[in-house]
Amino acid sequence: MTIASTVSDYLAEHDVAYDVLTHPHSSSSGESAEVSHIPGIRLAKPVVLEDDQGYVMVVVPASQRVDLGELHRQLNRNLGLATEDELGRLFSDCEIGALPALGTAYGMETLVDDALAEQPDIYFEAGDHEQLIHVSAEVFEALLGEGIRHGRFSH
């Protein structure tokens, strides 16, 4: 598979510099980091949550897990994990388990964990299980857009 069309179009629309890193097939973001020989703290892992107000993408380092309790406290929302069926509909141009950490490209509210925001460069899934997009931290922040909420959402 190639880069998801939504991601490719979004990157072109923003006219940003990026690299594509091809790696052996992987089944998780942690495994993608391992087979690509990059630190898990630099691989952006999206976790899609939902409630009656809609969907939210929380982007955390692949080496960490979302702290749902902290999210409940900070957002005052009772969010739960989106189902695979929901993810398939929301990210129809991506393989399940290889979602890009660009919620804004898919019209989704996006939050970024501070641990990831502190990194000099960021990698994220391209929409398949064999490619990562590599950008500078500044480019990643610009791709997410102004007003993106940051905080400690993982442990």
What local confidence, expressed as pLDDT, does residue 28 receive? 85
Which domains does the chain possess?
5-151 (3.90.960.10)
Q: Does pTM surpass 0.85?
A: yes
Average predicted confidence (pLDDT) for the chain: 93
Q: How many Cβ atoms from other residues are within 10 Å of residue 64's Cβ?
A: 17
**For residue range 97-147, what is the model confidence (pLDDT) as tens digits?**
899 999 999 999 999 999 998 899 999 999 999 999 999 999 999 999 887
Q: Do the Cβ atoms of 102 and 143 come closer than 8 Å? A: yes
What is the rounded distance in angstroms from the CA atom of residue 63 to the CA atom of residue 148? 22
